[in-house]
Structure 1
Amino acid sequence: MFKGTLIAQIIAILGAIFLAKLYGEEAYGIFGVFISITSISSIISTLQLDNCIIISKDKIESVNWFNFLLLLVFVLISFACVVFFFSSFFITYKQEEINMIYFVVPGTLILSYNLLNVNLFTFNKEFTVISSSKIFLAIGTVFLQFILYKKFNLFGLIIGFLISQFLVLFFLFLKNKKNIIKPNFIKIKRDVKANSSIIKFLLPSNIINSFANNLMPILILAVFGAKEAGVYFFSFKILGAPLFLISSSVSQVFFQKASELFKTNKSELHRLTKKIVTTNLLLIFGFLVCINTIGMYVLELYFNNGWENLRLYVFILSMLIFARTSFNPISSLIIVLNKNQISLLFNVYLFAVNLIAIYIGYFYNTIIYTILTLAIFGGTGYLFLLLYFLNYLKKTASYNE
């Protein structure tokens, strides 16, 4: 997982830097808003029941969840399209908003289906398939976004991303075709009741979390414009690369391992969690030092005075990325320990921080205050969340001993 994700991230970052100079800040701002919207909508489309694929007791149950969710996602997205169609008679949409919807609907469907496939491969411990798909996606996305620049300009980044995601989906379905069967709805009904806390707590929690983590590019676009949204999104893309690398290579494996250890050896789960957190923080600290020194020097030379304030954005957001890295890769503990209510409270806090941050920036008419508020208070929240779960694991391990 780590090797595959590392290769994918190197390709993605080098491609992102090249494409950033090619497309410019405005196109990146529009792309960032698209990614934000689809990230939020794909969370809603699965009702977070995709986690049940991984925490299932056996393969039969896992496959049953997989097939049920294939139908559920399609139904929910179709329903959303119907709502949008009828709302168009009463609400006036701008042409840009309609164009965005045209991209968001297939984007949500494809991203959701990819997630379902990846979770089933995770349950089956087929991490090589997941790793290969990440590499294929990174190469395909950069290549398609490059060749589509002249034809689609502002929307080339979005269209290239969607086509590459679809090709990955086709690959994953081919690998998973033997598991596509008719779902057992009677069993699903019982399993939904057994996992009702996911819908009651985890779903609203993760929806709020998704808004908290993805709302800022949308708000920046609305308040400060597409160029500022582009610089913010690109800064996060550069800084988020190691976080995504660590999370993607660790989180899926940790989720599966934590589910087992919580049932069999809680002391080992506590030790494993501390070890992963320590390693992750050391890795991200080294990267952040490099990107804020020689990395920014190289980028500024490459962009040749373009992308104004990029160095400042990267420096401030580094605080938030460091704090997020402490908890994001082990966030599956929320599900394993059934602490969905804690997640809900934290995400309400994080969402409030985003709104306060954008208000402060709007009030003082500077986006710097927005980013600074987000980094300080958002980062502090992640560190407190980490301390809570480490303390809970320690107490649980001591009690069982």
Structure 2
Amino acid sequence: MHKRLGDFIQSKYFKSISQLTTGSFIAQIITLIVAPISTRLYTAEQLGVYTLILTLLTIFGPVICGKYDLAIVSAKDDKEVMELIWSSTIFSVLFLFFISIFYRFYLTSYPEIIDEVGNFAYIVIFMLFIRAFTNILTSYNNRYKEYKTISSVYVVRSLVQNIGLVLFGFLKFGAIGLLFSQLIGSLFGLRKQSKHLYKNILGLKFVRIQGIKNVVKKYRKQPIYSMPAHFLSSTSYSILNLFISSLFGLSTFGYYSMSYRILGLPLSLVSMNVSKVFFQKATEEKSKYGNYYKAFKQITLLLLSVSIPMVIILISFGPYVFELFFGEGWYIAGVYVQILAPMYGIRLIVSALTPALIVSGKQRLELIIQSCFLSCSVLAYLICKLFTLDMSAFLSIISISYSLIYIVYLIIIYKLSLAKN
């Protein structure tokens, strides 16, 4: 095992992951430095309102392009890439129209959002529009292995967003300041990401309607299976925001939102970046050898070496670190982290490997698995509401049920990685 891991560390594969994770690491360090400042500049309720608004971005952001953007990575040639860029853009504009209608009704269910930020709540619609282009450009960069570009953009966006967060906090802008810091940060880096694409901009001008129709048909599994599956994946976590705020109030949700944010850092730092490289590598191996077991094995070993120490540290010291780091009263957020840590440890590994279902053409299977997560979250909500259980019980049900699903998910991916064409 040590020899295999050592060989992996010396590979170009690991170098690609290192380039991506270096930028993410710096970005997350910036976020960690600013986090204890934010808990002293903003109330738990303001952080809760901000998180409720961003729930729309969390749910729809990854699927705003119908997952056609992901197909850019494995497109057969440059012509098809340009057709997919157009397909992704058109889909996102149409989808955004329907999301805007949904969001209007969503706000009527949460009057506390309008009370806190007014019509500034609609800023998130513009953020989704920006996210569509970010998704397209990231896939384009990934196709050409421009990992340094992706990495540097992570840092710039995090730096700008956190500077804005502190500045608006001192100016007492409240949740509105949090929204503006997120918006301004998302704009930075777009020019750098589009530099390569701009050199080939003529390719976009020569795309024909028939070509767009062809790729829409060819990659129809993306919006039919991958998009709903990713939507359910995002919803299975984001819907917890709605359930917790409904069951336990905005203040409790504010504390949970910080624990959720901290637990999400390793996913942003490691899992999301490793996933990009795994997708590219697994696609190559599948084409060349008929399976991608080697890529699966290398990634699993790497992530196990990260996941196990992380879970041990969070369970052992979570509440004490939160109280010390974020200030008086934030101990309870550390307790929430203790409960959720085992599940997040498993999630760290499995989330990086989920592109395997696309590589194997099993998007329908992903949809079924993600439906299980959403079903468990709804069941946990109903149980807690019926028996008047507390927050710890709710999170325990979520942690145990989600962990079991992730284990089954990992076994399925392992079997798929062995399968020959």
Taking structure 1 as the reference length, what is the TM-score of the superposition? 0.90
Q: Distance in 2 between matches of 1:138 and 1:50?
A: 23
Are residues 1:129 and 2:146 paired?
A: no
Q: CA deviation at 1:92?
A: 9.2
Q: Distance in 2 between matches of 1:128 and 1:157?
A: 28
Q: Distance in 1 between matches of 2:251 and 2:111?
A: 20
Relative to structure 1, is the Cα distance of residues 92 and 51 closer, same or farther in structure 2, using a 3 angstrom cutoff? closer
Q: Distance in 2 between matches of 1:254 and 1:366?
A: 39
- Letter of the aligned partner of 1:70 in structure 2? T
State whether residues 270 and 390 of structure 1, in contact with CA within 8 Å, keep that contact through their aligned partners in structure 2. Answer: yes
- Letter of the aligned partner of 2:127 in structure 1? G
Match of 2:43 in 1: 24
Are residues 1:189 and 2:206 paired?
A: no
Q: Distance in 1 between matches of 2:48 and 2:140?
A: 33
Are residues 1:96 and 2:113 paired?
A: yes
Are residues 1:152 and 2:177 paired?
A: no
Deviations 1:100-139 (A, max 9, x none): 6512211211122111111111111111110000011111
Aligned-pair identity in percent equals 24
Q: CA deviation at 1:65?
A: 1.1
Match of 2:224 in 1: 200
Deviations 1:210-234 (A, max 9, x none): 2112111122122222221121121
Q: Distance in 1 between matches of 2:109 and 2:81?
A: 43
> 250, 269, 273: which one pairs with 1:245?
269
CA RMSD of aligned residues (A): 2.4
Match of 1:35 in 2: 54
Relative to structure 1, is the Cα distance of residues 230 and 246 closer, same or farther in structure 2, using a 3 angstrom cutoff? same
Are residues 1:290 and 2:307 paired?
A: no
- Letter of the aligned partner of 2:90 in structure 1? L
Q: CA deviation at 1:320?
A: 1.4
Pairs within 5 Å for 1:268-287: 269-287=292-310
Match of 1:107 in 2: 127
Stretch deviating more after TM superposition (361-370 or 317-326): 361-370
Q: CA deviation at 1:249?
A: 2.4
- Letter of the aligned partner of 1:46 in structure 2? C
State whether residues 34 and 100 of structure 1, in contact with CA within 8 Å, keep that contact through their aligned partners in structure 2. Answer: no
State whether residues 310 and 345 of structure 2, in contact with CA within 8 Å, keep that contact through their aligned partners in structure 1. Answer: no
Q: SS at 1:148's partner residue?
A: helix
Are residues 1:63 and 2:82 paired?
A: yes
Tell me, which stretches of 5 or more residues in structure 2 are unaligned? 1-19
State whether residues 284 and 322 of structure 1, in contact with CA within 8 Å, keep that contact through their aligned partners in structure 2. Answer: yes
Q: Distance in 2 between matches of 1:63 and 1:312?
A: 48
- Letter of the aligned partner of 1:123 in structure 2? R
Match of 1:262 in 2: 286
> 163, 167, 179: which one pairs with 1:143?
163
Taking structure 2 as the reference length, what is the TM-score of the superposition? 0.86
Q: CA deviation at 1:80?
A: 4.3
> 375, 388, 398: which one pairs with 1:374?
398
Are residues 1:163 and 2:184 paired?
A: yes
Q: Distance in 2 between matches of 1:96 and 1:276?
A: 41
Q: Distance in 1 between matches of 2:265 and 2:253?
A: 18
State whether residues 7 and 135 of structure 1, in contact with CA within 8 Å, keep that contact through their aligned partners in structure 2. Answer: yes
Q: Distance in 2 between matches of 1:295 and 1:377?
A: 22
Relative to structure 1, is the Cα distance of residues 179 and 210 closer, same or farther in structure 2, using a 3 angstrom cutoff? farther
State whether residues 361 and 368 of structure 1, in contact with CA within 8 Å, keep that contact through their aligned partners in structure 2. Answer: no
Q: Distance in 2 between matches of 1:252 and 1:154?
A: 33
Stretch deviating more after TM superposition (151-160 or 256-265): 151-160
Relative to structure 1, is the Cα distance of residues 100 and 226 closer, same or farther in structure 2, using a 3 angstrom cutoff? farther
Stretch deviating more after TM superposition (296-305 or 51-60): 296-305
Q: CA deviation at 1:83?
A: 7.5
State whether residues 36 and 327 of structure 2, in contact with CA within 8 Å, keep that contact through their aligned partners in structure 1. Answer: no
Are residues 1:6 and 2:34 paired?
A: no
Stretch deviating more after TM superposition (206-215 or 38-47): 38-47
Deviations 1:193-246 (A, max 9, x none): 122222222222222222112111122122222221121121121122112211
